[in-house]
Structures are given as structure tokens and as C-alpha cells.
Amino acid sequence: MNEKRFLSAISSAKIPHLHLPFTFVIRAWGYSLMSTAIAPITGMRSLVYGSPDAGKTVKNESPVFEAIAERIAKNLNLAKHPINVTGSRNQENKEEKNQEKEEQNQEKDTKKNQEKEKMHEKKHGKEENNKANQEKELWLAADIEGHHSRIDGRFYLIDVARLLPALPPRANARADHLVRLFRPEYMRTFCKAPISPDVFSQFGAVEGRKERWLEAYRAFTHLCHSVVPMAVEDLIKTAAGAEDAESLPVSE
């Protein structure tokens, strides 16, 4: 389970002022169930970092949490990256089309002109908000949420299932960017350059995307052709000197 693995990776970094919801995994009869405690957060009111709605709203409003996110990113070799606010842009296009249709059907009178002025002001305000959103950069994947609790004053991080960059997607695989991710061990120890955690997601569909793709492909090639063979060789050597299989140092 990526989320449990990534929570453990963040916890091991021991970042000051950061709190994570208590999470555990129950395994029985071939099934796994992950349970997470409810954090004392209040949705959009406590959200200070990330997007809860697929990019329609992107927040980066707390210098304290920005510093926390930077420490997480540098611990795991993640690159700060711009965010594509696709949700807001699609909503804006839809509203523009509806506005054009309405203008074609309405008579050109004083009332219509007044309504058009109001709609123009509203649209202009949304364009300014979208521009502000599009200019934001994040250290973490866009759908990871950072909250400043109004109940206990602590900073919480939730929804970390996409904490690390995705491996290059396979042909005809639609959800690889959600589940096939680099492991913390590789990112911390072997990855030679920071990689955007949104590298293959729609959040990362912005200018410079191809360069970020190349960084991920280089890392994947390095993983497959250098790190994995080295790990296999080490495991063979360790197994040769082990008394039994249970003594082998294998992590989850």
C-alpha cells in the first residue's frame, strides 16, 4: 500500500511541526484493510496547501507549511514544480460557451448590456483567480493536502498516496501514475536529480513537461540497469551467508 509506505517514509524524516493521522493496516485471510484516524481538520477552512478538488482550487497560503513541504521534498529528492489548474480552466471554458449562447438569444437592449457588464466583471475576476492559481508552484503532488487545524493549531498532512513520482507509464495503462511509483529507498539514496511528483499526471501538464519526463525516464533507466542488478547481487551474497530465509533483511 503506497499510502502506508509513504506515511512511514515521512514519519522517519522527523520533520518538526508536522503531524500525520494515525494509520494502520490489518491483514487477514489474504485481504488488507487500511484504517486511518480522523484528523481534526475542517475541509477548505483548514486547507493551506494543495488541491482538494482536482485542481479547481490550489492553495499555498502558509509559509510554515511551505517550509514543511520543502523539507519533505528535499528529504525524498522531489522537485518543486508548476501546477496545471485543469479543473478551473475547463470550468471557465464551459462558462464562456454558455455566455455566448445566452448572448445570441437575448435582445440587444439596455438590460442586456448591464447584464453583460456584470458578467464581464465576474469573468474578469475568475480569470485573475485562475491566473493566480496557474502561477503557483508546489513541492508535493498537487492532490496531497496540508491543513492547519483550527481545533488544535497543528499542521497535518493527508492523502499522501501519490507522494513520490510515477514510473514511466506502460502502453495502454490508464492508472499507472496513481499506483506504479518510485520507492522512498531509491529516491533518497540513488536518484541523481530531483523529480516532480506530478511528472506524469495532468497536474504536471504545463510548459517544460517534456524535460520533466526525461528526468523520470533517466531515473527509471538508472533504476533498472544499475540499482536493481546491484541489489540482486547484494541479496545473493547475503543469502549465501544466511542461516535461513527468515534472517534475510527484506523490507515491505
Enter the C-alpha cell of residue 26: 490489518
Residue 11 pLDDT > 80, yes or no?
Answer: yes
Mean pLDDT of 175-181: 90
**pLDDT tens-digit map of 96-125:** 455 555 555 665 666 666 666 666 555 555
* Cα–Cα dist 56/53, whole Å: 6
Whole-number percent of the chain with pLDDT over 70 = 76
Cα angle, residue 35 at apex, residues 33 and 38 outer, rounded to 5°: 160
Residue 207 pLDDT > 70, yes or no?
Answer: yes
* Cα–Cα dist 3/117, whole Å: 48
Confidence of residue 165 (pLDDT cuts 50, 70, 90): very high
Confidence of residue 238 (pLDDT cuts 50, 70, 90): confident
Whether 130 and 85 have beta carbons less than 8 Å apart is answered as yes
Give the β-pairing of 47-50 and 59-60.
antiparallel
Mean pLDDT of 39-66: 94
Buried b (16+ CB within 10 A) or exposed e, 99-112: eeeeeeeeeeeeee
Q: Which residue has the cell 498532512?
A: 157
pLDDT computed for residue 133 by the predictor: 47
Nearest to 130 by CA among 93, 95, 88: 88
- Contact residues for 180 (Cβ-Cβ < 8 A; gap 6+): 166, 167, 169, 170
Written as one letter, the residue type at 167 is L
**pLDDT tens-digit map of 70-97:** 999 999 999 999 988 754 444 444 444 5
| DSSP three-state, residue 249 | coil
Confidence of residue 239 (pLDDT cuts 50, 70, 90): confident
Residue 43 pLDDT > 70, yes or no?
Answer: yes
| DSSP three-state, residue 225 | helix
